[in-house]
Protein backbone atom coordinates (compact mmCIF):
# COMPACT_ATOMS: atom_id res chain seq x y z
CA UNK A 1 0.00 0.00 0.00
CA UNK A 2 3.05 2.26 0.03
CA UNK A 3 2.52 5.15 -2.41
CA UNK A 4 5.04 5.76 -5.17
CA UNK A 5 6.76 9.14 -5.29
CA UNK A 6 8.52 10.68 -8.26
CA UNK A 7 11.07 11.94 -8.91
CA UNK A 8 13.41 10.44 -6.31
CA UNK A 9 15.49 13.59 -6.31
CA UNK A 10 15.51 17.02 -7.89
CA UNK A 11 18.05 19.84 -7.94
CA UNK A 12 16.83 23.39 -8.43
CA UNK A 13 18.26 26.87 -8.55
CA UNK A 14 16.58 29.51 -6.43
CA UNK A 15 13.46 30.79 -8.16
CA UNK A 16 12.84 27.65 -10.21
CA UNK A 17 9.71 25.52 -9.97
CA UNK A 18 9.30 21.80 -9.37
CA UNK A 19 6.51 19.25 -9.10
CA UNK A 20 6.55 16.17 -6.88
CA UNK A 21 4.10 13.39 -7.61
CA UNK A 22 2.54 10.74 -5.39
CA UNK A 23 0.59 7.79 -6.78
CA UNK A 24 -1.46 5.14 -5.06
CA UNK A 25 -2.72 1.79 -6.30
CA UNK A 26 -5.80 2.07 -4.07
CA UNK A 27 -8.55 4.64 -3.69
CA UNK A 28 -7.43 7.42 -1.38
CA UNK A 29 -9.19 8.93 1.59
CA UNK A 30 -6.63 11.66 2.12
CA UNK A 31 -3.12 12.76 1.18
CA UNK A 32 -0.68 14.46 3.53
CA UNK A 33 2.57 16.18 2.57
CA UNK A 34 5.53 16.56 4.95
CA UNK A 35 9.02 18.00 4.63
CA UNK A 36 11.98 16.64 6.58
CA UNK A 37 15.31 18.39 6.87
CA UNK A 38 18.38 16.35 7.67
CA UNK A 39 18.39 15.17 11.27
CA UNK A 40 15.05 16.78 12.04
CA UNK A 41 11.45 15.66 12.44
CA UNK A 42 9.10 15.67 9.44
CA UNK A 43 7.02 18.85 9.40
CA UNK A 44 3.41 18.95 8.24
CA UNK A 45 2.83 21.00 5.08
CA UNK A 46 -0.60 20.20 3.74
CA UNK A 47 -3.50 17.81 3.81
CA UNK A 48 -5.85 17.11 0.91
CA UNK A 49 -9.10 15.28 1.50
CA UNK A 50 -11.43 13.31 -0.70
CA UNK A 51 -14.10 15.76 -1.70
CA UNK A 52 -11.75 18.65 -2.32
CA UNK A 53 -11.00 20.12 1.08
CA UNK A 54 -7.43 21.32 1.63
CA UNK A 55 -5.68 22.48 4.75
CA UNK A 56 -2.12 23.74 4.97
CA UNK A 57 0.19 25.80 7.08
CA UNK A 58 2.47 27.28 4.46
CA UNK A 59 2.36 29.06 1.14
CA UNK A 60 2.54 25.90 -0.94
CA UNK A 61 0.06 24.35 -3.32
CA UNK A 62 -0.97 20.82 -4.12
CA UNK A 63 -3.57 18.96 -6.11
CA UNK A 64 -5.46 15.75 -5.52
CA UNK A 65 -6.88 13.77 -8.42
CA UNK A 66 -9.24 11.26 -6.79
CA UNK A 67 -9.95 9.41 -10.04
CA UNK A 68 -6.28 8.86 -10.83
CA UNK A 69 -5.45 8.29 -7.15
CA UNK A 70 -2.65 10.82 -7.43
CA UNK A 71 -1.47 13.96 -5.71
CA UNK A 72 1.09 16.53 -6.76
CA UNK A 73 2.98 19.09 -4.68
CA UNK A 74 4.03 22.29 -6.42
CA UNK A 75 7.16 24.14 -5.34
CA UNK A 76 6.94 27.57 -6.94
CA UNK A 77 9.72 30.15 -7.01
CA UNK A 78 11.83 27.89 -4.81
CA UNK A 79 13.89 29.27 -1.95
CA UNK A 80 16.94 27.79 -0.22
CA UNK A 81 14.69 26.90 2.73
CA UNK A 82 12.70 24.53 0.50
CA UNK A 83 15.57 22.04 0.54
CA UNK A 84 14.76 18.77 2.28
CA UNK A 85 13.06 15.45 1.72
CA UNK A 86 9.36 15.59 0.90
CA UNK A 87 7.12 12.70 1.86
CA UNK A 88 3.57 12.05 0.85
CA UNK A 89 1.41 10.09 3.25
CA UNK A 90 -1.65 8.38 1.85
CA UNK A 91 -4.67 7.64 3.99
CA UNK A 92 -6.99 4.73 3.27
CA UNK A 93 -9.04 5.18 6.43
CA UNK A 94 -9.47 7.95 8.96
CA UNK A 95 -6.27 7.45 10.93
CA UNK A 96 -3.31 5.60 9.40
CA UNK A 97 -0.94 6.96 6.77
CA UNK A 98 1.35 5.00 4.49
CA UNK A 99 4.37 7.03 3.45
CA UNK A 100 6.26 7.07 0.20
CA UNK A 101 10.05 6.72 0.01
CA UNK A 102 10.48 10.48 -0.28
CA UNK A 103 11.75 13.01 -2.81
CA UNK A 104 14.97 14.83 -1.99
CA UNK A 105 14.90 18.46 -3.07
CA UNK A 106 18.10 20.50 -3.21
CA UNK A 107 17.81 24.21 -3.91
CA UNK A 108 21.05 25.97 -4.83
CA UNK A 109 21.81 29.67 -4.87
Partner 1 sequence: GAGVSQSPSNKVTEKGKDVELRCDPISGHTALYWYRQSLGQGLEFLIYFQGNSAPDKSGLPSDRFSAERTGGSVSTLTIQRTQQEDSAVYLCASSLQGRSYGYTFGSGTRLTVV
Which residues contribute to the site for partner 1 (CB under 8 A)?
Answer: 2, 29-30, 32, 34, 40-44, 46-47, 49, 53, 55, 57, 87, 89, 91, 93-102
Question: Half-sphere exposure of residue 81, counting CA atoms within 13 Å on the CB side?
Answer: 4
CB of 109 to partner 1, least distance (A): 25
- Whether residue 99 contacts residue 3, with contact meaning beta carbons closer than 8 Å, is answered with yes
Nearest residue (CB) to partner 1, 44 versus 69: 44
Closest C-alpha among 55, 51, 53, 46 to residue 20: 46
CB of 87 to partner 1, least distance (A): 6
Strands 54-56 and 30-36: unpaired
Nearest residue (CB) to partner 1, 14 versus 53: 53
Cis ω for the linkage preceding 56 (within 30 of 0):
no
CB of 39 to partner 1, least distance (A): 8
CB of 2 to partner 1, least distance (A): 7
Nearest residue (CB) to partner 1, 50 versus 108: 50
- The angle at the Cα of 94, spanning 45 to 83, to the nearest 5 degrees, equals 15
Amino acid sequence: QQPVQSPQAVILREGEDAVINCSSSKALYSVHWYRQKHGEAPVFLMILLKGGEQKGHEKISASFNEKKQQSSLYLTASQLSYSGTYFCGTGYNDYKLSFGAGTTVTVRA
